[in-house]
Structure 1
Amino acid sequence: MDSANINTAEQNIAQVKTALKAFVENEKIAKMLGKDFVSEMNDWEALIEKKSEEPFTLVILGEFKRGKSTIINALLGKELAPINVTPETYTINEISFGHTQYVEAILENGMRVPLSLEDITREKLEQRMKLFPAKISYVQIKDNAPILKEIRIVDTPGLSDLESLDKQVMDYIVNADAIMYAASCLLPFSESEQLFLASHVQPQRFGMLYILVNMIDAMNSQKDADKILKRVRNISERIVPNAIVYGISGADELSRKLGRERPLDKGTREFYETQFFQFELSLQRDIIMQKDVIRSKRVLTMLSQMCDETAAKLRLISDMAELDKQKLADRAKEFEEQCEKLSKALEEKKPALHLSIIEMQQEAEAWMYEFFSKLRASILDCRGKDADGNDLYSSEDIEKHFYSFLMEKVGEAYRNCIESHRDRIAEIVEGTGRELASALGIDDLSKAAKAPSVEMIMTSLNKNVTRSVMGVQLFGTSETFPPATMSVFSLILKKKKQTDIIDIALENYDDIRNNIVKDIKTVYQDLETKAAARLDSLYQYQVEMGREALNQAQQLMMVYDNDEIRQTLVEAKQMLAEPQRILAESKL
């Protein structure tokens, strides 16, 4: 995009912001919309203003021990982001341009404490934190690295606990302009990592998302590296189709740029050197050179959402204004009666939900029994011989690869088994939710199909179904297996040097199978509980939304007559029409 189009986009943004500000400041319109909605619009305005003024931000995410800080340092060509920290001392680090290097901790009470780079190492920061009058909100690092003239980089703590994801980190994700997600080739794309991408990153619809498979230098061969990257690409295409995947070694690249001794070359150095170079090239071409375009798109999208929410609210009030006081009272009474009926209907649907999930559980168990019957044959094939009577696999190969083979096969079957029901469960819960919305009259009152608030609820619903299927438990150390199964695998690993590992696997074969099936039952039971709770919360949301609309309409009629409401609505729609037109014509 050329500078003329960027300037046009900036002019459009300024015009829309001015028009919406005038809209909110109109006393009649503000009174009609209500204090809560006006407060939400003011929050939108403040967020958009912040997005327009703050530096272009590239946020790096990932679980602990994925080498996020090392990747940042490799990009900068110098050691700024602290490495080898513990979860207790990990801070959010904002790294931005400054002519001279400067570090300070911004505390939660607003106090700023000057630091040095040495202070934010694990040992020293732990000591310093004990003396601070408040917790650290984030650490601000200034440096003159050339890339920082263009973008701000935010280094975040490890995301190992999705349920307690820090709100501050979530705010950085929502407000990011682009995302780097660090994975490890040693534990590529665990269930919790997939869940995080599906529930927190994908809904933000970032224009650019990099998935960096770090530590690729640990692979013994190009074939191993290709296999890992293929798996990550296949998974990411399903969750975040726009992601670009690179296999890199942050540690090797940092050593190369600093002129230090590099890790042992296993014959793949040229590959991950090239991958890092391609990543940097894309960063320069697709983000840094396009940052004004990306920023404009994000702001225009936020303004469009703000206009859509406002238009939906006006439609709701307009529908209510068509009713006189008596009809409105009748509607409110009917609504409460309908809520009571639907509450009972919802309870009646839960046995059907129970039966559906029991059927899926039984189907999953049958699949796993079938898989294990085939797995036993595959294990025995490892002892197969060729036409000349020689072993197909040497004892060294079996010793080296069999354990990984067994874990990978069982883990893949376990994931595929459970994930195969994701869409069916989503259809059941979402279908029931839409039936509730329609039966409560919400489709008629607010044109729910077009209202962003309802779309957001349905998106949230899908995310929670994904959470139920993929994240009922975080499985073991690799998050690939249930705890009981992991204990059997640990037993095999412990004994594998004492005797033939295949014999040990066959001895524990029934335990592995039975534990998998047992844990599948637990997963589906938990899934049913969460799906039922999700239906309850969706019902409550819809009831509250309808109730709020009716109450607001009744309050309006106590202050205004219908003619005044209609006149104010006409004025509001006219004022909103201009920013809507500008946004509709704004194409980047």
Structure 2
Amino acid sequence: MKDNENVMAADENISTVREQLSEIIEDDKIAEILGRECVEQLKEFRALVDKRREEPFTLVILGDFKRGKSTIINALLGKKIAPINVTPETYTINEISFGHTQTVEAILENGQRVPLVLEDITRENLEKRMKLFPAKISCVQIKDNAPILKNIRIVDTPGLSDLESLDKQVQDYIVNADAIMYAASCLLPFSESEQVFLATHVSPQRFGMLYVLVNMIDALNTMADVNKIMRRFRGISERIVPNAFVYGISGGDELKRKLGEERPADKGTREFYETQFFQFELSLNRDIIMQKDVIRSKRVLTMLDRMHAEISSRLRMISDMAEMDKQLLEDKAKEFEQQCDELAAELEKRKPVLHLSILEMQQEAETWMYEFFAKLRTSILECRAKDDMGEDIYSPEDIEKYFYSFLMEKVGEAYRTCIECHRDAITELTDKMSREMASALGITNVAEVSKAPSVDRLMMSANKNVTRSVMGVKLFGTSENFSPAAMSTFSLIMKKKKQTDIIDIALENYDEIRINIVKDIKTVYQDLEVKAISRLESLYKYQVELSRNAIDQAKEMVDNEDKSELLETLADALKRLEAPKKILDANLPA
């Protein structure tokens, strides 16, 4: 009963805040001050808020390609509904919701709805059907009577590495999601691109519930391997999305269990991933399904809070400018342009400092790798060790089966560790430089611009997408997981079948592997330097553009309007923002 009262109160607060903000942006005088483009974006975002209130509670699953997202969904549903083993060419966004009878429809980009059956959305059949459609598929809507769907809608998205044409659409689903499941694979380390995606697209949305599902745990051979992988994922998740719940699961094994199908042999890890999936489902039911109305209310209030912040920050900036007389404003504009030139020069001065700092990190990484390779040779030779009876400790079969993956894992882990050890140092370095640059512009921190509540970033749809231009600058290249130059040598090792050949070829190519790894480290750190500079430049350019626009707009208004009337309108608008702010502060965490 109390929960219902809380939900009703929250809904009333949402309606009140929405109405108060709407009255402000629809006021002709205030709208003129904000600017046509800003008002249009605010109205678009308001439409998103309304859509969020009306649509069913939505749980979106994200993750890179081949992470088992669809299999996880099927395991939750207890039946094979979401298509698996699809290709990037046939991957569609699948909306799965409740229906008393099972139906499948393809929604085309031209608005046409094409009835299908589940068999049509398999890889082979969908590829044929897509060629006959008059337009591309926007999404596939699937209805089924699985019990969990009575409470939530599940959205299955394409792999993050295949989002060129689907980027805008997937961004909209993220903005409109109530909760997120992020699928990762225990067989592939959390790549830098995955981490950047979580940091720039998921974390800023401040989801109340976020699951990181480390899938395919059944592929690991021992609990030691499982614990090692889970420590890695939990550590990274804690740094990027501290509120995330991390579970190590096997979607494929769980689906087989629920369907009563034959399961792979237990390697001693089944109890772990079975229990983890059970705990995940328990949390899903307890923390999301039973609390979905509360989560929905907080999600909508958070969106309104960002809308409020955007209006408030813009009006305050213009108000500060409007307080100046015309001549002072002209002087301020000239001073600002001069300041920008000085800041640009200061940025150029800092580039050599950044270069030297990253060069030192690169040299340190090279030293670590040389030390690692000295120890690795000993480990390789130990694969030929014999026991007290003169027998091989490791059988030829085991060496043939595991040596290649052992070598790949050891080298790959060392390679990644070098880079990851410097991640925080680079972030700290760029933040320090941004703070130093910020003092010249008179703001707390240029880096805060990238976290500021912007309708552009929330909408993920404007042409000037600040998330991409500022936060989207990657600090690491695409080769952070494994040295690409060393891959050809490893491919040669993999082709060998006999244990002697495998070990001999590894030792014969040992120096080449080491040289290639060090060479790639140089390339990665050079790329890192370029992108760190690009990030600083993007932060600088965005803040400058924002400030310049405010000055120009203030000059235009001072020229065209009665100043006292302008200041009165601004004061009235800021006063009217106090009431919704009071409601938002009382209902959202600080």
Greater shift in the superposed pair: 6-15 or 190-199: 190-199
Query: How do 1:292-311 residues align onto structure 2 when only pairs under 5 Å count?
Result: 292-311=293-312
The answer for the alignment partner of 1:287 in structure 2 is 288
Deviation at 1:340, TM superposition (A): 2.2
Find the aligned partners of 1:338 and 1:374 in 2 and give their Cα distance.
54
- With over 3 angstroms needed to count, the CA separation of the structure-2 counterparts of 1:400 and 1:129, relative to structure 1, is closer
Residue 231 of structure 1 deviates from its aligned partner by 3.4
Change (3 A) 1:354 1:217: closer
Matches within 5 A, 1:250-261: 250-261=251-262
Which secondary structure does the structure 2 equivalent of 1:364 belong to?
helix
Q: Is the 8 A contact 1:91 1:156 kept in 2?
A: yes
Q: Distance in 1 between matches of 2:243 and 2:568?
A: 46
2:32 maps to 1:31: yes
1:352 aligns with 2:360: no
Q: TM-score of the superposition, structure 1-length normalised? A: 0.91
Gap change, CA 1:537 and 1:235, over 3 Å in 2: closer
Equivalence for 2:92: 91
Please report how far the alpha carbon of residue 162 of structure 1 lies from its aligned counterpart in structure 2 after TM superposition: 7.0
Which position in structure 2 is the counterpart of 1:78? 79
CA distance in 1, matches of 2:353, 2:166: 34
Which amino acid letter does the alignment assign opposite residue 287 of structure 1? I
Alpha-carbon distance change, 392 to 205 in structure 1, aligned in 2, over 3 angstroms: farther
- Give the Å deviation of 1:322: 1.6
Give the 3-state SS of the residue equivalent to 1:206 in structure 2.
coil
Query: Cα distance 1:155–1:33, how it changes in 2: closer, same or farther (>3 A)?
Result: same
Q: 1:358 to 1:271 in 2, by over 3 A?
A: closer
Distance 1:543 1:195, change over 3 A: closer
- Cα offset for 1:289? 0.4
Which aligned pairs between 1:209-224 and structure 2 lie closer than 5 A?
209-224=210-225
Query: Aligned to 2:500, what secondary structure does the other structure show?
Result: coil
The letter of the residue matching 2:13 is: N
Give 1:423's aligned residue: 424
* 1:454–1:174 Cα change, 3 Å: closer
Q: Percent identity?
A: 70
1:501 is matched with which residue?
Answer: 502
Give 1:342's aligned amino acid.
Answer: L
Equivalences for residues 114-263 of structure 1 within 5 A: 114-161=115-162, 166-263=167-264
Tell me which of 470, 475, 495 is aligned to 1:468: 475
Report the Cα offset of residue 348 of structure 1: 2.6
Q: 1:421 to 1:164 in 2, by over 3 A?
A: farther
User: Structure 2 CA distance, aligned partners of 1:257 and 1:373?
Assistant: 49
Partner Cα distance (1:420, 1:444) in 2: 25
* DSSP-derived class of the 1:366 partner: helix
C-alpha distance in 2 between matches for 1:241 and 1:450: 16
SS in 2 for 1:186: coil
Structure 1 residues 2 and 147, CA, compared in 2 at 3 Å: closer, same or farther?
same
| In the alignment, structure 1 residue 512 sits paired with structure 2 residue 513 | yes
Q: Give the structure 1 partner of residue 364 of structure 2.
A: 363
Structure 2 counterpart of 1:438: 439
Partners of 1:185 and 1:363 lie apart in 2 by 29
Distance 1:78 1:141 in 2: 13
Q: 2 CA distance for matches of 1:98 and 1:273?
A: 29
Contact 2:78 2:255 in 1 (8 A): yes
Give the direction of change, closer, same or farther, for the CA distance of 1:311–1:482 in structure 2 (3 Å limit). same
Which residue pairs with 1:106 in the alignment? 107
Question: CA separation in 2, counterparts of 1:212 and 1:134?
Answer: 34
Shift of 1:351: 2.1
- Distance (whole Å) between structure 2 residues aligned to residue 451 and residue 237 of structure 1: 22
Corresponding residue for residue 461 of structure 2:
none
User: What pairs up with 1:27-66 in 2 under 5 angstroms?
Assistant: 27-66=28-67
Q: Which amino acid aligns with 2:136?
A: K
- Asked if the contact 1:443–1:449 (Cα under 8 Å) also holds between the matched residues in 2, the reply is no
What is the CA distance between 1:463 and its match in structure 2? 4.6
Q: Which residue type is aligned with residue 273 of structure 1?
A: E
CA contact (8 A) 2:64 2:161 kept: yes
Match of 1:323 in 2: 324
Contact 1:183 1:214 in 2 (8 A): yes
Match of 1:21 in 2: 22
Equivalent-residue separation in structure 1 for 2:136 and 2:450 (angstroms): 44
| Secondary structure at the counterpart of residue 2 of structure 1 | helix
* Alpha-carbon distance, 1:83 to partner: 1.6
Distance 1:575 1:558, change over 3 A: same
Aligned partners of 2:470 and 2:360: how far apart in 1?
21
Contact 2:302 2:588 in 1 (8 A): no
Which residue identity lines up with residue 277 of structure 1 in the other structure? F
Q: Distance between the aligned counterparts of 2:268 and 2:421, measured in 1?
A: 38
Q: Measure the CA separation in 2 of the matches of 1:127 and 1:154.
A: 24
Query: 2:339 is matched with which residue?
Result: 338
Q: Secondary structure at the match of 2:311?
A: helix
Distance 2:478 2:469 in 1: 19
Separation in 2 of the partners of 1:239 and 1:286? 21
Aligned AA (1:468): L
- Deviation of 1:137 (Å): 0.5
> How far is 1:118 from its partner?
1.7
Within 2, Cα distance between the matches of 1:337 and 1:516? 46
The size of the alignment, in residue pairs, is 580
Q: Given residue 515 of structure 1, which amino acid in structure 2 is its aligned partner?
A: N
Task: Please state whether the residue corresponding to 2:214 is helix, strand or coil.
Answer: strand
User: How many Å apart are 1:483 and its aligned residue?
Assistant: 1.4
Query: In structure 1, what residue type is equivalent to 2:478?
Result: Q
Q: Secondary structure at the match of 2:411?
A: helix
Offset of residue 387 of structure 1: 6.9
Question: Cα gap change, 1:132/1:400 in structure 2, threshold over 3 Å: closer, same or farther?
Answer: closer
Q: What secondary structure does 1:363 align onto?
A: helix
3-state SS of 1:499 partner: helix
Return 269-278 or 338-347, whichever deviates more: 269-278
Q: Which deviations, in whole Å up to 9, do the C-alpha atoms of 1:222-242 show, x marking residues without a partner? A: 444444334333333333232
Amino acid at match of 1:422: R
- The 10-residue stretch of structure 1 (6-15 or 36-45) with the greater mean CA deviation from structure 2: 36-45
Q: Which amino acid aligns with 1:473?
A: T
Q: Give the SS at the match of 2:91.
A: coil
Q: After the TM superposition, which of the residue ranges 265-274 and 319-328 deviates more from structure 2?
A: 265-274
CA shift for structure 1 position 581: 0.9
Would the aligned equivalents of 1:162 and 1:196 in 2 still touch at CA under 8 Å? no
> 1:462 and 1:372, CA in 2 relative to 1: closer, same or farther beyond 3 A?
farther
Q: Cα offset for 1:111?
A: 1.4
Indicate conservation of the 8 Å contact 2:301/2:588, yes or no. Answer: no
Distance 1:437 1:462 in 2: 15
CA deviation profile, 1:2-50 (whole Å, cap 9, x unmatched): 2222221111111111111111121221122221222222122111111
Q: 1:167 to 1:332 in 2, by over 3 A?
A: same
Larger displacement relative to structure 2 (195-204 or 356-365): 195-204
Shift of 1:327: 0.7
CA RMSD of superposed structures (Å): 2.9
Deviations 1:387-407 (A, max 9, x none): 777655455444443332322
Whether contact under 8 Å (1:78, 1:254) holds in the other structure is: yes
Residue 481 of structure 1 deviates from its aligned partner by 1.2
* Partner residue, 2:69: 68
What does residue range 484-495 of structure 1 map to in structure 2 within 5 Å? 484-495=485-496
Supply the distance in 1 between the matched residues of 2:445 and 2:518 (Cα, whole angstroms). 46
1:216 shift after superposition:
2.9
CA distances 1:41-80 after superposition (whole Å, capped 9, x unpaired):
2122111111111111111122222222122122112222
The answer on whether the counterparts of 1:430 and 1:461 sit within 8 Å (CA) in structure 2 is no
Cα distance in 2, alignment partners of residues 175 and 449 from structure 1: 21
Separation in structure 1 between the aligned mates of residue 451 and residue 429 of structure 2, nearest angstrom:
22
> Structure 1: which 5+ residue stretches go unaligned?
none
Deviation string 1:235-293 (CA, Å, 9 cap, x unpaired) is: 33333232223333323332333333344444544443333222211111111001111
